[in-house]
Amino acid sequence: MAPFASAQNPAQNREQNPAHTSGSTITIPRALFIMSLLYGGLAVLAGVLGTKLASLGHWPLLGDLAVESGIFAFLLLVVMSSAVSELYGQATANRLVRYGFLPLIVSMVLLTVVIRYVPPAPFWGDQDAFARLLGQGARMQFAGLCSYGISQTLNVYLFSKLAGGSGKLLIVRAWISSVLSQTVDTVIFITISFYGTVDATGQAMPIGTIMEGQIISKIVLSTIMVPPFIWLFVRLGRKLDA
């Protein structure tokens, strides 16, 4: 495969034809193939990790921060979709996001079947804990699908448009698109999941407070994680395709 930098217009060429064909054989760029595998796996893992609330410690001016652990996997999804957009174009990155629905939906269906319809072995006593940690109601599953699709598509759009055709300011573009898309993700997910519900005391769920804490935590993590990882994935992708 020709080196990434050798094509006259690599981004446009790869966006139009990211998979090269030779007869009946289709060759996918090595980096795109690896990132696609990682993307699908992390899309599923994000939901599993999200059952744990993680402490980010105490921050000056911000106070104690906590976030659901799925954000670590989700930010890597943001990084990879941005890296694919940088290497192969916006259209390819958007296809990656759409294909990400497949492992998400399949994993949701399998978890629901295993939890609700597959009986536990008589000697296994962790069914309740398993169902409590991994079982999600239909409303929360729907919220996850909506927030994933909209926020990831927005991330790819912003990352590509901020480039303005120049391909410069990679880290800055990645950070801005990540912060904005994660804010939208939080608003959509929490609104759909908890609007109109009540807590254990019968009071309406404090949606605004939940959003505020999650958004601040995600901005902090986006600032820490996204810049170095986007640089690493783009650099690694170019090296793998060389």
216: which 2 tokens? 């601040």
The beta-carbon contacts of 234-239 under 8 Å, at least 24 apart in sequence, are 234/83, 234/86, 234/87, 234/170, 236/31, 237/4, 237/31, 237/32, 237/35, 237/83, 237/87, 238/4, 238/5, 238/31, 238/87
Per-residue pLDDT tens for 63-98? 888 888 889 999 999 999 999 999 999 999 999 999
- CA angle, 24 as apex, 20 and 29 as ends, to 5°? 25
**Does residue 3 carry a pLDDT above 50?**
no
**CATH number of the domain located at residue range(s) 30-241 in this protein:** 1.10.1760
**pLDDT at residue number 20:** 58
85 compared with 12, residue with greater pLDDT = 85
**pLDDT at residue number 232:** 95
Each domain of the chain, given as residue ranges in start order, spans 30-241
**pLDDT at residue number 160:** 92
When pLDDT is cut at 50, 70 and 90, the band that residue 25 belongs to is: low
**pLDDT at residue number 201:** 80
State the average pLDDT for the chain.
Answer: 86
**pLDDT at residue number 2:** 41
Per-residue pLDDT tens for 142-171? 989 999 999 999 999 999 999 876 668 899
**pLDDT at residue number 9:** 44
Contacts of 91 (CB under 8 A, 6+ apart): 15
